[in-house]
Chain A
């Protein structure tokens, strides 16, 4: 066991995974060597890429026991493709597969049977909901490896995550394998998360319910990466793929937090021409965007870019010329999908472009401000977004640790209590994002600044914002709820939280029943 830079015990080696490198600090790892290289292949003139069935594709690309296959989650909770592929593998009697999805959702509950029957024996990827829950119960022999969006792209490019076959759900594909996500009945917008898979997997299969003539336009993933195309009835349920237009929350508590976060941004001095901004689609985040939009309009500020998961709200800000460009790795709603088609300043970006720390420069490095959530934050500002207060693995990392490391100002917005559970604690159950990359915590009961950010503290002291010590926030929460019981764990490690640079920042253990 080694103790890493955030004080967590990391085993030197794990069976089925190999040697582990403990986390040293957010910017300590310097990569060496060469990138991974996929097989060279050729396509002869006249050969068709379109196959009649998924089964045929699986046979053609030669999926065998023990291989690693990957998927994207741009179809979110409406995805049919993961289940479709695993059902077919199961029918073919293939076992011992590692799946490397960019994320799994509650909609993927049906694949639990393939985990129990041994078709799937390991997961490298985000697990949201039921799959995380069974992982926490210890169903896998090999721990789930959790990576951020940038970290996953890095792992694929560096060869840490070699992919044998990438199965790409394609809202539109032409007969020669060019793909886009913006058209077709299952349109999802950007396909940013799967670009590295397409480029580095040995074999790539596009699965589409909208097969069109050659060539399709626009092209997100070009023919040069795609081996085969399979037409199926439906790749997903549109209701689960894109949400309707998200409304700004009406919850006064969340609105208060958002307003304060916007005031912190205003006081930070970063909200000026050229300003770049990212926020999620959650209630508080969207309400922060509402305030930022108001301030930008009031002072005629034009930002450089808005990034990340793009919502109708950001589209509106682009159209109002409050941002020059949107960098879209994932389109959350139908307005974002439409804008991606029509607006040349709305750009699709890959996960590597977005957040990979080991390329020649990623977008988060140019980000001024990121608004993030937390399931827990501790008095060292370490944030947990993976495990719930009962210790169960229920969420992926997303771009949390990437944007926190890249942005000039990282703001965590959260109510101090959720239900009866305090969010500020002595030690988070799981460290997802290290405190050294978190600058401010904004709650309804006060704003805590990371003591490392003396400059920011000085600026905020000039405002009337309620500044508090993070320890006092913790005490205030515990005064109302009592000290929460800490969940009990078995020894078995069921998950590894990989920092974006490939080191291990924390391990997740099996929950004791």
Chain B
């Protein structure tokens, strides 16, 4: 299976029918239909039903469909999971995830539901949202708590509030935290997605932050408005030189395979596994941006 790109994960309020209906048309790699922070307590049940019906009727085509449920520790989380999982979203985003037990609880519930609806076990993925001191403390275990976990998400706003840090646009206060999440994700062999950039009018700020998190190694970012898709995708779009080099790397690998040669070299430099995997990642981004048609 081709690895999914997750450059952008667009939050959509789970209580807004028009936005739910149109969520898939803007070109985000993933949409995150939100039952948690976007929905007030009085509307939790109505939003859940709305979203259930939306998942039954709307075809989001190739977009990855993720639902952010309420934390399993609240009265709504279990009901959310029970109702939503039956509609087979691609993944569940688990907010306020703080421990292995949080993931395992969701995992068990999902296994039961998958059994009930005759869906292959493990089909519905999990994306823990790390947004507290405790979550960061346990992030390595969380990342490896279940086969279902395909990505770690970072929630900077809640995290800074929890830790007592001052939230700045520059984000120095988050540097080591981001690095830690990234490391945990890579150890587990999964994606790492950065927090949202809250000011939709500040495209420059968004671009700077996205460049920075790409440099750190993140796979993408959660976003809060369709206008943030294009700038983020552009940053994750490789340059022409990068693409050309990546294509040559892959061609050299293919050639070596055909010759059954063990050692692969390009321009006098050895191509090892990391170089090959970087080349594949670049070509995947290039393909998503429409710059090449096949990898």
Identify the A interface with B (CB < 8 A).
Answer: 252-253, 255-256, 417, 444-445, 464, 479-480
Contacts and interface: CB of A to CB of B under 8 A. Distances in A.
A444 B58 contact: no
Given A445-B25, A480-B57, A255 B290 contact: no
A253 B290 CA distance: 22
B26 interface: yes
B239 interface: no
Contacts of B225: 252
B216 to A, nearest CB: 28
Interface of B is mostly: helix
A480 B58 contact: yes
B226 interface: yes
Contacts of A464: 290
B163 interface: no
B26 A252 contact: yes
Contact of B226 (A252, A417, A445): A252
Given A252-B227, A445-B25, 9 more contacts: A252-B26, A252-B226, A253-B25, A255-B227, A256-B25, A256-B26, A444-B25, A480-B21, A480-B57
Nearest to A444: B25
Of the candidates B22, B225, B226, the one having the most CB atoms from chain A within 10 angstroms of its own CB is B22
Contacts of B22: 253, 444
Contacts of A479: 57, 59
Interface of A is mostly: helix
A479 to B, nearest CB: 8
8 contacts: A252-B225, A252-B226, A252-B227, A255-B227, A256-B26, A444-B25, A445-B25, A479-B59
A417 B227 CA distance: 21
B188 to A, nearest CB: 34
Of the candidates A252, A255, A417, the one having the most CB atoms from chain B within 10 angstroms of its own CB is A252
B293 to A, nearest CB: 10
B21 to A, nearest CB: 7
A255 B225 CA distance: 12
A417 B22 CA distance: 10
B18 to A, nearest CB: 8
B229 to A, nearest CB: 9
A444 B19 CA distance: 13
Nearest to B21: A480
Contacts of A252: 26, 225-227
Interface string B23-36: 00110000000000
Contacts of B26: 252, 256
Contacts of B25: 253, 256, 444-445
Nearest to B24: A445
Nearest to B201: A250
A479 B26 CA distance: 19
A479 B226 CA distance: 24
A256 B59 CA distance: 19
